[in-house]
Amino acid sequence: MSVFIEEEVVPEFDFDYKSLLEEVIEEALDYMDCPYEAEINVILTDNENIQSINKEFREMDRPTDVLSFPMVSFGKPGDFSFLEEEQSCFNPETGELMLGDIILSVEKVREQAATYGHSEKRELAFLTAHSMLHLFGYDHIEEQDRILMEKLQEEILQKMNIHR
């Protein structure tokens, strides 16, 4: 597994956020039974930059907590079976599955942790698990999909012993 972390802002968390990002990503890959080594890019940014990206790609002119940019188009969320024939999804140098990019607003992590009354560590882990599910093809547009995503997110975090 390769996790590339780019810091547009340097978070001053009171925990090892790089290790946490890697652990949540690895737990999500294991939870989903991903049969491949994977490559994920994580960008830590601020509200201004994520708002610009949100406006450009989603036509929403407001900051958001996390954006996910999958590089794999899953026919069925979490179903990796089609990838054997889809070599364009793999890094030719490493052979790793290129899942995509996660962009996180450090400011939103802090804001939402305070709003929801839990730690910044829990909020960062939650947003990372949420984004990983998007990279696996899940969404939360329909109510039943939202319920499923929430269940999967919580199960991933519970396996890591991260609770509200």
Q: Domain with 86 in it: what CATH number? A: 3.40.390.30
Say what the pLDDT of residue 50 is: 98
> What angle in degrees, to the nearest 10, is found between the helix axes of 143-159 and 17-31?
120
Say what the pLDDT of residue 164 is: 76
Tell me the binding residues for Zn(2+). Answer: 130, 134, 140
The answer to whether position 115 is within a domain reads yes
The answer to whether position 14 is within a domain reads yes
Domain count, the chain: 1
Q: Which residues of 62-84 are buried (b: 16+ CB within 10 A; e: fewer)?
A: ebbbbbbbbebeeeebeebeebe
The answer to whether position 91 is within a domain reads yes
The answer to whether position 19 is within a domain reads yes
- Summarize pLDDT for 25-59 with one digit per residue, the tens: 999 999 999 999 999 999 999 999 999 999 999 99
- Residues ≥6 apart with Cβ < 8 Å to 48: 63
Tell me the binding residues. Answer: 130, 134, 140
The answer to whether position 164 is within a domain reads no
- Residue span of the structural domain in which 55 resides: 2-159
Cα separation of 50 and 145, whole Å? 25
Q: Worst-scoring range by mean pLDDT, 3-7, 9-13, 143-147, 160-164?
A: 160-164
- Summarize pLDDT for 65-106 with one digit per residue, the tens: 999 999 999 999 999 999 988 788 999 999 999 999 999 999
Mean pLDDT, the chain, integer: 95
